[in-house]
Amino acid sequence: MDKDRERRLRVVEDFGFENLAHLFKFTEYLSGAKFRVRIVTTYYDDEGNEVEADKAVDTYTSVRVLYTDGDSGVMEFGFSEIYEDEGYQIELIGCKWCDINPRYMNAINDVFVNPFLYEDYEIEVFEDPCITVSWDSDERNERIINAKKDRENRFTLQH
């Protein structure tokens, strides 16, 4: 299995997508910029063993964000190995570039600064998709339907 496919399958599992097609629908075909949050809290006893929440003396919360520009660009944000919770590690997923603007970067930063304000698997949508009503819908966007009708009407009037 190639590395890109293997990486995407891990993202499917880690971020709660149903399958690769569900991930592709989230990231591709002018689906609009958005992100999905992954928050996992692990509980430890005084010896450092994983335990249930009610027996914990220590916790560790892992925060990751999967961002897409909605045109096949995908980045995963996590805490930095070097800077820990003072910085981010960013990995491109199955692409060579991904576009992002400062407002979206600020929103992603907010997830890491205030993770308690977000639910696990929560999706934040920045832009509506161009083709469909929403990223997880097959229903055509009214703009596209009207544009097609306008083109047909112009063609009819010209002939």
Tens of pLDDT, residue by residue over 52-99, are 888 888 888 889 999 999 888 999 999 988 888 788 999 999 889 999
- Count of the separate structural domains present in the chain: 2
Domain that holds residue 154: 129-159
Sequence letter at residue 42:
T
CB under 8 Å to 93, separation ≥6 — which residues? 7, 8, 11, 66, 74, 75, 76
pTM: 0.79
Q: What percent of the chain has pLDDT over 90?
A: 46
Pair 133, 111 in one domain: no
Pair 114, 145 in one domain: no
Pair 15, 37 in one domain: yes
Pair 147, 105 in one domain: no
Pair 94, 149 in one domain: no
